[in-house]
Amino acid sequence: MTALASTTVANLRDLGGLPLSGGRTVRPGLVLRAGQLDRMDPAADPVLAGLAIRTIVDFRSDAERADHPDRVPAGARLVVADALADTIRSAVARGDSDDRPAAAQLGHILSDPALAEEHLGGGRAQALFAQTYRALVSSGSAVVAYRSFLTELAAPDAGPLLFHCTAGKDRTGWAATIVLTLLGADPETVESEYLSVNPAVRAAFAPLIEGFVAKGGDPEIAQAVIGVVPEYLETALAEVNERFGSMEAYVRDGLGVPDEAVARIRERLTQG
């Protein structure tokens, strides 16, 4: 995977070049991941302009999209795929508006140390993220979101596709895991790619983290919210194995993506 030196998109990465079984690799320039795109500007960003992005898949919530709407390049199509909509609705219905998935409200959480301690202190952050990762596999909105994502990748006329959330680490990380596993990456490669975003994410959110800590916030909470750890990914993979037995069965039976679409994805995105 290649980290791309974009000046207007944080945490922009090309899955191309990652090793797959049988000596193959992911074809570069076709499937990319990133954080939010509210500052995207191909006119001022030669790296971004050179990608010629055709489709953008946005996994964020309604509130995230309203606060930081995507800037979509001319000629590109935006696909909204709100992966955590059901989880957020459930929290709001319970009256727990501050108990929504941390992945969908990073700025809100880290603006108030007292709120963060109440909802995420004492190991609750890790438990909340585990719950979020299970929801990314099993909730109805996540099923629709990741089915849409894979359908876009499998489209006969698909061009370069960029998928993202706010930080580009959790919802986006799970999407990358699905794709790489389907393409034949081994578990070590999948986990390494998942964890590789940590430096870029922490750099992008450094001012928020520093402000949170300066106001008395617990640095451990900040790191649990901003970073990704192997245990988060393991939770989602365990959910897949428990419910479906394999990633292929999850994609076919859980997401409802036909084998023919998976075959097209493999043909398009692999080389060597």
| pLDDT reported for residue 100 | 55
Q: What is the pLDDT of residues 194-248, one digit of tens each?
A: 999 999 998 888 888 888 899 998 888 888 888 899 999 999 999 999 999 999 9
Shortest CA distance to 161 belongs to which of 3, 1, 31, 2? 31
Q: What is the pLDDT of residues 1-54, one digit of tens each?
A: 789 999 999 999 999 999 999 999 999 999 999 999 999 999 999 999 999 999
For the chain, give the mean pLDDT. Answer: 91
- 173 confidence band (pLDDT: 50, 70, 90): very high
Domain boundaries in the chain? 2-271
Q: What's at 263, amino acid-wise?
A: A
**What pTM was estimated for this model as a whole?**
0.92
Concatenate the DSSP letters of all residues of 74-110 into one string: TT-EEEE--TTHHHHHHHHHTT-GGGS-GGG-HHHHT
Which one of 3.90.190.10, 3.20.10.10, 3.40.50.170, 3.40.190.10 gives the CATH number of domain 2-271?
A: 3.90.190.10
Q: What is the pLDDT of residues 93-125, one digit of tens each?
A: 555 544 456 655 666 777 888 888 887 888 788
Q: What's at 141, amino acid-wise?
A: S
Distances from the Cα of 121 to the Cαs of 91, 115, 190, 225, in angstroms?
18, 9, 29, 11
First CA to last CA across the chain, in angstroms? 16
Q: What is the mean pLDDT of residues 147-162?
A: 95
Among 21-30, 161-170, 200-209, 253-262, which is the least confidently predicted range?
200-209
- Which position has the higher pLDDT, 261 or 88? 261
| pLDDT reported for residue 212 | 87
What is the spatial distance between Cα 163 and Cα 156, in angstroms, rounded to a whole number?
A: 18
Residues 6+ apart with CB under 8 A from 8: 39, 40, 41, 44, 45, 48
In contact, 232 and 197? CB cutoff 8 Å: no
